[in-house]
Amino acid sequence: MTQPDPRRRIPRTDQLLALPQVQEARNRLGDSAVRALVLKTQERARQGALPVDEVAAAVVAGLAARAPVSLRPVLNATGVVVHTNLGRAPLSKAAADALVSASGYVDVELDLATGTRSKRGVAAREALLAACPAAGDALVVNNGAAALVLATTTLAAGREVVVSRGELIEIGAGFRLPDLIASTGARLREVGTTNRTHLRDYTDALGPDTGCVLKVHPSNFRVTGFTSGVSLAELRDVLRDKEVPLVADLGSGLLAPDPLLPDEPDAATALSQGADVITGSGDKLLGGPQAGVVLGRAEVVARMARHPLARAVRADKLTLAALEATLCGGPAPVTQALHADADALRARAERIADAVGASVVPHDGRVGGGGAPGVPLPGWAVRLPEAAAARLRAGDPAILARVHDGACLVDLRCVPEADDERVLAAVKAALDG
């Protein structure tokens, strides 16, 4: 007698969708994702890869393990503070709470007192001006490149942007500054050479077609040796009577001097030295969300805000909320990691190393994100076998360590101390294979 095909006992789709756990998952993940997993699980059973009587349990388990977003939280144990591959600056608790508060309806463009429309981003602008009093006005856009594009478009579309050849840099993912500026309709007027640019190079290039002079901080490399450059103060003296705006692209978004990074330009200093407008990123040394920050003379910033392109690159309510909270709340994680005490880092590393029989070695962290190239951040790391790195990345929590000189180095500089026990458990699991 022919045995009945066991695949006939595979639960029907409607039966699986009616399960209470599946109903809950439909609210959390959406109907399409749930239905797709149900059908995939049924197909596994039809192919014989899953016992028929385990289909319902597999569907429930699969949905429980699935999150509505594919991005995974990662503990940054590389020692690189602003790690571009990990999303640059981690947000402070105040900024994270602000994101949640702003996720619903908020008065982003509404005056609740009068019930009329208001200007967008007023509170974030006020927070920036409070953090950088040297600026006459501020504007927030969606990223640092957009801030620079908006500045050059507003001031020099169809005209010339005068810039030193040594500052025509390439930023991340192959994007080059000359290409960005050319996309605005402005023409580059290159002056000087790769290693030496003099004041006369700028003055000789100025003319009736000059839209602005641009100074760019080459933040992700250094040129040393036979070099020379021109300061913002020197350029301001030349441009003062010519009504040519001076734009400084600082990159990192540092608002005030930091003694730890003496060569990293900051907005307050650049403006006091004569820059009409500075541009930078919100998710680097400022320690906030991805954003483009514009600070400068009120009339120049107002021109940028009125330009039609400003609408295309404006920041959303979540960015504005997180940026305001970053500026008004407690120290950002980036600031804390940069200024972490080396002795405290060593003590934390030794606790983990002692528990697993590993050693602790000196390890210099880095600013990262194209900031302060070559500046070491003295610290310590737990030295593990190189094979542990892949196991840490694949674990839960996922931990990204540094692989160097045949070893896996776990640097706790950017790991919150509250997560040390999770790191220890992950290290033990990685060493156990």
Taking only the tens place, the pLDDT of each residue in 83-116 is 999 999 999 999 999 999 999 999 999 999 999 9
Distance CA 157, CA 101 (A): 39
Question: 289 preceded by cis ω (within 30°)?
Answer: no
Listed in sequence order, the DSSP H helices in 206-332 are 232-239, 267-272, 298-306, 309-312, 317-328
CB-based burial label for 393 (10 Å; 0-12, 13-18, 19+):
middle
Tell which residue, 146, 126, 108, has the closest CA to residue 310: 146
Instruction: Dig out the tokens for 11 from the structure.
Output: 């639960």
234 alpha carbon, distance to own chain's centre: 33
CB atoms within 10 A of CB 273: 18
Q: For the chain, give the mean pLDDT.
A: 93
Q: Where are the domains of the chain?
A: 6-65, 74-83+335-431, 92-329
As its CATH architecture, domain 74-83+335-431 has Alpha-Beta Complex (3.90)
CB atoms within 10 A of CB 266: 22
What pLDDT is attached to residue 227?
Answer: 76
Strands annotated E in 203-257: 210-216, 246-251
On whether the CB atoms of residues 427 and 75 are closer than 8 A, the answer is no
Same fold, 74-83+335-431 and 92-329: no
CB atoms within 10 A of CB 99: 16
CB-based burial label for 90 (10 Å; 0-12, 13-18, 19+):
buried
Question: 218 preceded by cis ω (within 30°)?
Answer: no
Instruction: Dig out the tokens for 211 from the structure.
Output: 């839209």
- Which amino acid, residue 178? P
386 alpha carbon, distance to own chain's centre: 28
Tell which residue, 240, 292, 235, has the closest CA to residue 267: 292
CATH 3.40.640.10 correct for 92-329: yes
- DSSP β-ladder status, 137-141 and 187-191: unpaired
The radius of gyration of the chain from alpha carbons, rounded to an integer in Å, stands at: 27
Three-state SS for 99? helix
Per-run averaged pLDDT (10 residues), the chain, 433 residues: 77 94 91 94 94 94 89 96 96 97 95 94 96 97 95 95 88 77 89 90 93 86 78 91 92 93 94 96 96 97 97 97 97 96 97 97 93 89 98 96 97 98 97 87
Distance CA 233, CA 254 (A): 19
